[in-house]
Structure 1
Amino acid sequence: MHNAICLGFDLNEVAACSFSYISPFYQPNATPQTDPKDLLTSANLPTTNTMPANLRLTLIKLVIPHHASLDLIPLPLLRERAIMLSAAMHFAYDLTEFKTDIFVRGGLMVWSLSATELNNIVTNTKGSCLQPWDSECWEAAPWFVEKWSIVVDGRQGELGRRSLRWTSV
């Protein structure tokens, strides 16, 4: 919900998790001739300049229709691949199952530690895990990394390695 607020989403729509809640970032009028820079600036959303880096607009968010819940994930590689696969391989990639694995089964979780707690646990950290839009604060369950390997680059991908670090604590 924190990320939904940060992005200016309708919280009632997010909480309902309705199947029809398409990302408000999606620009259905984009054409192959549209200049990507113009498309990014024409989105003209009030939160565009103040969005945390891991939640910012990307071309994929703008040109591929996708469920708004995917915009809430501050893991750019995972989010971009999930959006692309849900559009290109909807017959093999079950978005409903993916969302259920994240939001219901706990496949992804966010740590919320103070800077002191985090520094006592993990060395060489960039800071605290106080914000849910900080990708460093997210962990994937081992079963999630295995099941959705194509989306997260498997155990050797950034999320897989980070999750191993959290698990070893």
Structure 2
Amino acid sequence: MNFALATGIALAAAHAVAQQHDPAMHMQHQAQAAKTAKAAPKDIRQAVKFPKVLREHTLANMRDHLLALQEIQEALAKQEYDKAGDIAEHRLGMSSLALHGAHDVAKYMPKGMQEAGTAMHRHASRFAVAAKDAGATGDVRPALAALAATTAQCVACHAGYRVQ
């Protein structure tokens, strides 16, 4: 390749890179992002009204559910299957209903939200058994499938409902 051609290619490449970092182009991208944010779809989830104390209680429970899911994943990563199962059963499973005051909040939930919550708690109890089985068999796949089924219930509920 001759020197003039190589220099031309290098200059063209440098110009292309400079255009990528052009401040005006950056501002254009920011303006487009702002338009997109303004055009975001309206939240069409069903609003569920709780008394203030129960709203705060419910939101705290959901944050604890997220924390429990994190702790379960950490335990699975360390191959602490019994620990993962215990966390699931006591913080998410059917055994946790009284601890979370489920009876008090259920009367404010629409039927679909109640069903999703009950399904999540049942799946979490199934995960607890599958996690403990993984400790005996060494096969974690059924436990991971059960954990996915549990979190799918969380996703479904949060996609359909919002607490007010």
TM-score by length of structure 1 reads: 0.28
TM-score normalised over the length of structure 2: 0.29
